[in-house]
Structure 1
Amino acid sequence: MSEASGEALFEVLEPAQQLLPLVLNSPHSGRAYSPDFLAQSRLDALSIRRSEDPFVEELFSAGLRLGAPMLKAHFPRAFLDVNREPYELDPRMFDGALPPYANISSLRVAGGLGTVPKLVAENMEIYRTRLPVDSALGRIETIYKPYHACLRKLIARTHVRYGFAVLIDCHSMPGNIRVTGGASRPDFIIGDRYGTSAAGELSRAAVGILEDLGFSVARNKPYAGGFITEHYGRPSRGLHALQIEVNRALYVDEASLEKRAEFPALATMIGLFLESFAFHMMKYAESLPLAAE
């Protein structure tokens, strides 16, 4: 991963013992920006972080204490976005022909936010020049595919052990995000792909717990979940996926991306959320017909 960093691509944080049918995933909180990558970019070292979900893996770290593993990226989202299809690529970014199976016409590609992003937030272009197409394909082979293989393994291991698995995909959102058609700025958004990636009982439980903790919560608007939520959520097979977006303004200064004084308190509240959600999750699992067999 010479263009991104000399560090490990990603890491699985394992609890002492897995006690829950729960897997946490933090695909956008990576902040290992290599000198080579920064040299390719027209952005400075702070501006290039505008698409990052800063410190999200720390906000959800209580999951480890409760007995849930977490997969976290070290590579930055600006370098490679694993919450996309593997080949959502913009041909205008590259020198050389993309493979015929590349998805070059998705809305995300059109918006500059493909698997290898063209832009960071606020429509700032990342690169000084076009990239060799082999660079994009290499990132997919050496980072994207191993990352998803690892995530699949965690989910499959959990499902085999419990007959049931829930993935929480952990993200953050800009503080100025408003609910579609309204003026409210939610603290959290729960995405379940409009009921297709997780059982409604689990989505409603997540919303209700956060509201009981005093937060404003929206569901699916404006974020219903990305590729990861859609791809791994198969409720009919006992595989459920929820995306959680945390309002960034609650815990970081959005200009400097430094932690706010409120960070530890929010992490504690998210720990309370995970603890209560785990209880509801287990009660739901016990209600399933297979649980009695």
Structure 2
Amino acid sequence: MVHQGDAPLVVAFPHTGTTIPLEIEQTLRSPWLALKDTDWWVDTLYAFARDLGATTIRTGMSRTVIDVNRDPAGVSLYPGQITTGLCPAETFDGEPFYHPGEEPDAAEIARRRETWFDPYHAALAGEIARLRRRHARVVLYDAHSIRGHVPRLFPGDLPDLNVGTNSGTTCATALAEAMMAACQRSSYTHILDGRFKGGWTTRHYGRPREGVHAVQMELAMRTYLPEPPVTAWGNWPADYDPARAAPLQRLLTEILEAAIAFAKEPA
């Protein structure tokens, strides 16, 4: 799903999808577990981005079916740390998705990649190329969220805002500094290149010398919805909370405006 804008900014939503084809759902232990780690309501949170002239791109397919923000070659983004793969087999908490023996094999993973991963990235690459024909610089902003407390992935509580640039390799320093300056003016906790340094999308497309500057924003979900103990559909996902989200949206607007301003500066 693509919305085309004219500003030099692409906002991508790789993990908001909830669609699971029936033939895949039948192999899963629990549809709820399969959707547990969705980036809930992130596309709703960033609905204002279109008013800024941003291009947005979203896949409706669940990350459990195929994760379009993972290396298609299966290489870990965080060697030595727990992470999930191209077709993940378990939740962030380590709960298995599939009935025993029903996990996708190499042929099934290749089918899912061809059916859903490749078209998503063809669309994303196409939009970046379209905007690069108009602008000397383009910013790709990969929008994510995660529960703020996932002990298996990180100790303690995650900062509210987690900006990832793969240690400064995927965008110009000036862009990262502008984004972090906005964070510093807010009351939200924040970090640059902490536990989350940017996924495959950020690392693959971020080529500052070629005019494409990529960043990932990983939000702790508590910034826009309540985070109860996640035990069942009865209490998760929590509803989007517009009142809680409003101050965050003001900050995110400032961040995206800073990204556009950076992109429009003389290269």
After TM superposition, give the deviation of residue 193 of structure 1 in Å. 0.6
Match of 2:227 in 1: 253
RMSD: 2.7
AA aligned opposite 2:236 = L
Mark the runs of 5 or more structure 2 residues left unpaired by the alignment: none
Alignment of 1:193-208 (within 5 A): 193-208=166-181
Structure 1 vs Structure 2: percent identity of aligned residues?
26
Query: Contact 2:147–2:227 at 8 Å: present in 1 too?
Result: no
Question: TM-score scaled by structure 2?
Answer: 0.86
Query: Contact 1:177–1:186 at 8 Å: present in 2 too?
Result: no
- Establish whether residue 116 from structure 1 lines up as the match of residue 95 from structure 2: no
Question: TM-score scaled by structure 1?
Answer: 0.79
More helix by share: 1
Match of 1:131 in 2: 104
Alignment of 1:9-158 (within 5 A): 11-14=1-4, 18-42=5-29, 44-88=30-74, 111=82, 113-128=84-99, 129=101, 130-158=103-131
Query: Contact 1:62–1:274 at 8 Å: present in 2 too?
Result: no
Mark the runs of 5 or more structure 1 residues left unpaired by the alignment: 1-10, 89-102
Query: Contact 1:30–1:75 at 8 Å: present in 2 too?
Result: yes
Distance in 2 of aligned mates of 1:115 and 1:184: 26
AA aligned opposite 1:198 = C
Distance in 1 of aligned mates of 2:77 and 2:51: 39
Aligned residues: 258
Query: Contact 2:93–2:150 at 8 Å: present in 1 too?
Result: no
After TM superposition, give the deviation of residue 249 of structure 1 in Å. 2.5
Report which structure shows greater RCO (CA 8 Å, sep ≥6).
2
Match of 1:219 in 2: 192
Q: Deviations over 1:52-99 (max 9, x none)?
A: 1111111111101111111111110111011112231xxxxxxxxxxx
Query: Contact 2:36–2:237 at 8 Å: present in 1 too?
Result: no
Distance in 2 of aligned mates of 1:33 and 1:144: 14
Structure with higher Rg: it is 1
After TM superposition, give the deviation of residue 242 of structure 1 in Å. 0.6
Greater mean deviation of Cα atoms: 19-28 or 181-190: 181-190
AA aligned opposite 2:11 = L
Query: Contact 1:112–1:119 at 8 Å: present in 2 too?
Result: no
**Secondary structure in 1 matching 2:35:** helix
After TM superposition, give the deviation of residue 118 of structure 1 in Å. 1.4
